[in-house]
Amino acid sequence: MRIGYLVNTYPRPSHSFIRREIAALENQGVEIHRLAMRGDAGALSDPADLAEHARTERVLEAGARRLLADLGRRGAARPAALAQALALARRRAGSGESSLARQMIYLAEGARVAARAQALGLAHIHAHFGTNSARVAGYARLLGGPRFSFTVHGPEEFDNVQALDLRGKLALAEFCVAVSSYGRSQLCRWADTGDWDKIHVVHCGLDLDRWADPAPLPPGPFHLVAVGRFAEQKGFGLLIRAFARAWRRDPGLRLSLVGDGELRPQTQAMVAAQGMGDAVKILGWQDEAGVCAALDAAHALVAPSFAEGLPVVVMEAMARARPVIATYIAGIPELVRPGSEGWLVPAGDSEALAETMLQAARTAPETLAAMGARARARVTARHDIRESARRLAALFSRATG
């Protein structure tokens, strides 16, 4: 079975979960051709990401002339299908998904994807994210390309469901993957009830062999780590407020922030304003080895998010036998159980987050270690990439007959 994986911009430093998924499918004998609208080589430093970039075909690099030629050939061979696709483009532009000009670009990209799928013998296209990559896959299907499916992660897709037309994309698709039961519930809210059976939960997974032999909890002051993009939904600003409240009561507390993004300057300014330069360290983007090292240096992960799907970093922390402090949102409670693998707090409540960080710091080391052991056992049972790939391969096999 040979399929195409389609992503808007790929790879990115935050797309390691897609790279792991592709590798696991290939290990199970699925041939995968990587397709992206564009790349972002300048943002890549991890050798694995750079190697993935070299393996990926970028649709827009074919140039406007070739894309338009593919669209013309597809339209000439299938005039009724082209008329249907043009009508969809006008409806989606009118509904606010994007401008008509942008929809026409997606349509030309879809024609190129359909042409490449035919040339390469791709039996199916799988898009990651329910945004324009799923739209391009849908246009490719209308223009005679292979059947398609897509994975919805959240939270971005759930911020503007009607404009993104998840209902219409699911109607065109063979199936859709949600990464949590919460994600499936949100898709069910908007999908036609007749399409509910198309929605399948397949967890993002870890290559657990790469996360084996977790380090014991470190000595020294209680150390928290947060990992993620410095973006509004990750809640790092709230975390700094909460940590400042807790730190004033326990000056031995330490916090490391792993990541980067548009809100990094604001976050740094908040740390400086609270006089916590010695207690809070901003480590910037780290590759998988760097994230692993940061988790090993900490006693617990803190994930203060306002909106999520199901964060991979929570899985990674649990694989390193670290308990988790997280907000009670989206798919997180499906993985982290209060009092067992960590603590859950209401999203947006800095006082509750501060109190929970202090509670964790007061927890006996042997209790923290036992929580970490349960966390590792739970993520091993639920998020093994080999099992996720097996389920995806079965879905692809069914979709291709």
**Ranges of CATH 3.40.50.2000 domains, the chain:** 2-205+384-399, 208-382
| Spatial strand order in the sheet of 300-303 | 280-284, 254-258, 223-227, 300-303, 324-327, 342-345
- The answer to whether 183 and 329 have CB atoms below 8 angstroms apart is no
Q: State pLDDT tens for residues 221-270.
A: 999 999 999 999 999 999 999 999 999 999 999 999 999 999 999 999 99
Give burial (CB, 10 Å; 0-12/13-18/19+) of 355: middle
Q: Is the pLDDT of residue 161 over 90?
A: no
Q: What is the mean pLDDT of the chain?
A: 96
| pLDDT at residue number 14 | 84
pLDDT one-digit tens code per residue, 86-125: 999 999 999 989 999 999 999 999 999 999 999 999 999 9
Asked if residue 82 has pLDDT above 90, the reply is yes
- What is 2-205+384-399's CATH topology? Rossmann fold (3.40.50)
Structure confidence at residue 156 as a pLDDT band (50, 70, 90): confident
Is the Cβ–Cβ distance between 190 and 161 less than 8 Å? yes
pLDDT above 90 for 67 = yes
Neighbour tally for 269: CB within 10 Å: 11
Using only C-alpha atoms, the chain has a radius of gyration, in whole angstroms, of: 22
| pLDDT of residue 310 exceeding 90 | yes
208-382, CATH topology level: Rossmann fold (3.40.50)
Question: Given this model, what pLDDT does residue 46 score?
Answer: 85
- Mean pLDDT, range 323-334, rounded to an integer: 97
- Say what the pLDDT of residue 163 is: 87
Model pTM? 0.93
Rounded Cα distance between 143 and 222, Å, is 58
pLDDT value at residue 162: 83
Reported as a single tens digit per residue, the pLDDT across 27-42 is: 999 999 999 999 999 9
pLDDT tens column, 163-205: 899 999 999 999 999 999 999 999 999 999 999 999 999 999 9
> Distances from the Cα of 107 to the Cαs of 74, 113, 114, 329, 330, in angstroms?
11, 10, 10, 36, 33
